[in-house]
Chains A and B, each alone.
Chain A
Amino acid sequence: GQQVMQIPQYQHVQEGEDFTTYCNSSTTLSNIQWYKQRPGGHPVFLIQLVKSGEVKKQKRLTFQFGEAKKNSSLHITATQTTDVGTYFCAGQVASGTYKYIFGTGTRLKVLA
């Protein structure tokens, strides 16, 4: 079946270090979204990428969508303690459905 894998599963960084999570799909995606879930909370939308090779930035966060539209990455520059949480990608398969497949998530801990 369709799968979306994320690596790493966990990441501990010192405050100020950079962080990257990678998302890989077994099938071509029509678009990909990224969400952040704080501990004990619910996922909150961060961004949607649609075009092949697209790069978007939100302050210290940089999102990329691969040329083949099967992979994506989220990079955080100079992490802060407020970045703590689990980051999920969610891919919409390019089959005309409106179903999103969520990745397994990367849990980020930032040590002050």
Chain B
Amino acid sequence: DGGITQSPKYLFRKEGQNVTLSCEQNLNHDAMYWYRQDPGQGLRLIYYSQIVNDFQKGDIAEGYSVSREKKESFPLTVTSAQKNPTAFYLCASSILPGQGRTEAFFGQGTRLTVV
């Protein structure tokens, strides 16, 4: 059963702690993305990756880090440097432009709360 899986669904973090959000896909997609969504807001791009061991900053990368050691996996670390990390985090994947319809498949999301 193909799809994209995010874990955990809910995460609580104390101020000053780093936390890593997991994202795994078995769709054989080259591109992967991390978005942040705040209540009543749109999706803002944090990081994206086209290929293993390569990734680019999105519009709000400060305070976040990523890795892409495997095609299937794109974990996001929310560091203590992120001033306001409480949000809904969405991971997505897609094929690359030029290979067909590039719709993004989203995971179920991780809701992070800083306590």
- Using CB atoms and an 8 Å cutoff, list the residues of chain A in contact with chain B: 1, 6, 30-31, 33, 35, 41-45, 48, 88, 90, 92, 98-105, 107
Contact = CB atoms under 8 A, between A and B. Distances in A.
A48 B35 CA distance: 20
Contacts of B48: 98-99
A102 B59 contact: no
Given A42-B90, A90-B104, A104 B97 contact: no
Interface residues of B, number: 27
B43 interface: yes
A102 B43 contact: yes
B66 to A, nearest CB: 15
A102 B42 contact: yes
Contact of A43 (B90, B97, B101): B90
Contact of B102 (A6, A42, A48, A103): A48
B40 A107 contact: yes
B52 to A, nearest CB: 15
B54 interface: no
A44 B106 contact: yes
21 contacts: A1-B59, A6-B42, A31-B102, A33-B102, A33-B104, A41-B108, A42-B90, A42-B106, A42-B107, A43-B90, A43-B106, A45-B105, A88-B42, A90-B104, A92-B97, A92-B102, A98-B96, A99-B45, A100-B104, A102-B45, A107-B40
